[in-house]
Amino acid sequence: MEKYFYLETFGCQMNVVDSERIVTMLGEIGYQQVATADSADLVLLNTCSVRDKAERKVYGHLGRFKPIKDARPELIIGVGGCVAEQEGEKMLKEVPYLDLVFGTHNVHRLPELVQQAEQGNRRLSVTGFLDQETRLNLFPQRSDLDTVTRFVTIMQGCDNFCTYCIVPHVRGREISRPSAEVIAEVEALVAQGVREVTLLGQNVNSYGDKSSGEIGFPELVRKVAAVEGLLRLRFTTSHPKDLSDELIACFGDLDNLCHQLHLPVQCGSNEILEQMNRGYSREDYLLTVQKLKTACPDIRLSTDIIVGFPGETEENFQQTLDLVAEVGYADAFTFLYSKRTGTPAAEIVDKTGARIKQQRFERLLELQHSTSRNIWESDLGECFQVLVEGASKQGEGQMFGRTTANRIVNFAGAADLIGTMVDVKITQVYRNSNLGELQNS
């Protein structure tokens, strides 16, 4: 008998990769993915706890499935990801119709849990961190997706303990995957038709730092870039304090390393950076940006910024605005600080009112929107190499791909272009994507 599962994924790329793995593992035990929960035998939420009232939101989402469970008590409902890791068994107590809770280090146990639940053994929770050796054997492997671009996990966890951040508490200690395994995976992906790879980790720049005898990140980047047939390489996320000169040199030296970098700054004030435990000053950050622009003049930068960290003054915030204006980010993900229980920043007394924080947030957004618009509009009429990824949502006969700067471009073209690099002239610039015309090569 066919069995169906419905999966919702929240949060970062780590969760997206974990979800790909979940799809593959569930396929192996006879489950097919469906687009709505109504007809599913199994419903899963892969959750994120980085921001906002994440736990409450998950409980809210789960409520949507209660009527389905009431009508079909055999439905299995499970929660994974960072909220599951954080809340554990407590979730089973709070949600009487929840069957499975699986934490960030226990995704691999999902098939076994689902099979137990099928046999009536429900209300199961597996959380807690695994030892290093077990984790090394459990790195997400290549899935059977058929895509031109793919993420390859090279490290997991985080040891940085930025004072606002829950990640080190829910993803555990930093661990790097052996370089030989990473390279073998990239080779296998390329053999299977993948043309672009993004090396993925919470802080890829410190790859290899924690395991003796292994190569560092710049060397890994060079080795992966050398894999024959790999047209493009990206990596994320970079921590400014670990972005070395050797890595910056890669942007000037390697033809297939894309001219784009996500470099979260979080804030422009030294006082706040210190309280965030970021490990760099405003001056350090600006120097790194300068070096990147020298090595790769057309590099497009993006960032993450937190507004309203406890104790942030108008002057501190102004320094963030100044830094944003100076760097000229092509894109920025802006967040209002939200208190994460168990982190040091949650203990800092915060006298700034919510209205002031909201106003600062909007001022930053306004500046960023106009900067982004100016940067992307400068591409108008220019020609770019686009790696074609697939059919566009824009309609029949439309394809989409990305530029080296990671900008989505939609254009009229044939499906046999998928997986190839084509020249496209930009004819329209929108908020999040461009429209272009295919050029005859």
Cα 95 vs. chain centroid, distance in angstroms?
28
CB of 249 to ligand SF4, least distance (A): 23
Nearest-5° Cα angle at 376, 254 to 380? 100
Residues 34-63 that bind ligand 5AD (CB under 6 A): 50-51
Nearer to ligand SF4 by C-beta: 167 or 265?
167
Q: How far apart are alpha carbons 118 and 292 in whole angstroms? A: 54
Please tell me whether residue 337 binds ligand 5AD under the rule CB under 6 A.
Answer: yes
CB of 402 to ligand 5AD, least distance (A): 21
Nearer to ligand SF4 by C-beta: 158 or 296?
158
- Footprint of ligand SF4 on this chain (CB under 6 A)? 158, 160-162, 165, 167-168, 202-203, 239
Nearer to ligand 5AD by C-beta: 130 or 346?
346
Task: State the binding partner of 340 from ligand 5AD, ligand SF4, none, CB within 5 to 8 A by kind.
Answer: ligand 5AD
Find the helix or strand (DSSP H, E) in which 249 lies. helix 245-253
Q: How far apart are alpha carbons 79 and 90 in whole angstroms? A: 12
CB of 164 to ligand SF4, least distance (A): 7
CB of 166 to ligand 5AD, least distance (A): 6
Nearer to ligand SF4 by C-beta: 264 or 419?
264
CB of 320 to ligand SF4, least distance (A): 16
CB of 351 to ligand 5AD, least distance (A): 18
CB of 109 to ligand SF4, least distance (A): 24
Number of residues in contact with ligand 5AD under rule CB under 6 A: 12
Question: What are the residues whose beta carbons fall under 8 Å from the beta carbon of 62, sequence distance 6 or more?
Answer: 45, 77, 79, 95, 97, 98
3-state secondary structure of 426: strand
Task: State the binding partner of 244 from ligand SF4, ligand 5AD, none, CB within 5 to 8 A by kind.
Answer: none
Task: State the binding partner of 231 from ligand SF4, ligand 5AD, none, CB within 5 to 8 A by kind.
Answer: none
Nearer to ligand SF4 by C-beta: 172 or 413?
172
CB of 50 to ligand 5AD, least distance (A): 5
- Contact, 364 vs 307, CB < 8 A? yes
Nearest-5° Cα angle at 118, 115 to 119? 95
Please tell me whether residue 164 binds ligand 5AD under the rule CB under 6 A.
Answer: yes
Please tell me whether residue 335 binds ligand 5AD under the rule CB under 6 A.
Answer: yes
Nearer to ligand SF4 by C-beta: 5 or 329?
329
User: Binding mask 248-277 vs ligand 5AD (x if CB under 6 A, - otherwise)?
Assistant: ----------------x-x-----------
Q: Single out the segment in contact with ligand 5AD by CB under 6 A; choices: 29-37, 136-144, 282-290, 334-342.
A: 334-342
CB of 262 to ligand SF4, least distance (A): 11
3-state secondary structure of 331: strand
What 8-state DSSP symbol labels residue 35?
S
Q: Single out the segment in contact with ligand 5AD by CB under 6 A; choices: 130-138, 208-216, 253-261, 333-341.
A: 333-341
Task: State the binding partner of 203 from ligand SF4, ligand 5AD, none, CB within 5 to 8 A by kind.
Answer: ligand SF4
Cα 88 vs. chain centroid, distance in angstroms?
23
Please tell me whether residue 304 binds ligand 5AD under the rule CB under 6 A.
Answer: yes
- Contact, 412 vs 388, CB < 8 A? no
- Contact, 68 vs 38, CB < 8 A? yes
Q: How far apart are alpha carbons 45 and 114 in whole angstroms? A: 14
Beta bridge partners of 197: 150, 233
3-state secondary structure of 421: strand
Please tell me whether residue 165 binds ligand 5AD under the rule CB under 6 A.
Answer: yes
Instruction: For residue 237, say if its preceding peptide bond is cis, omega within 30 degrees of 0.
Output: yes
Please report, for the chain, how many H helices and E strands are present, in that order: 15, 19
Residues 87-126 that bind ligand 5AD (CB under 6 A): none
3-state secondary structure of 418: coil
Question: What are the residues whose beta carbons fall under 8 Å from the beta carbon of 424, sequence distance 6 or more?
Answer: 383, 384, 385, 386, 401, 409, 411, 436, 437, 438, 439
- Contact, 9 vs 15, CB < 8 A? yes
Structure tokens at 7: 């999966």
| Binding positions for ligand 5AD, rule: CB under 6 A | 50-51, 164-165, 264, 266, 304, 306, 335, 337-338, 340
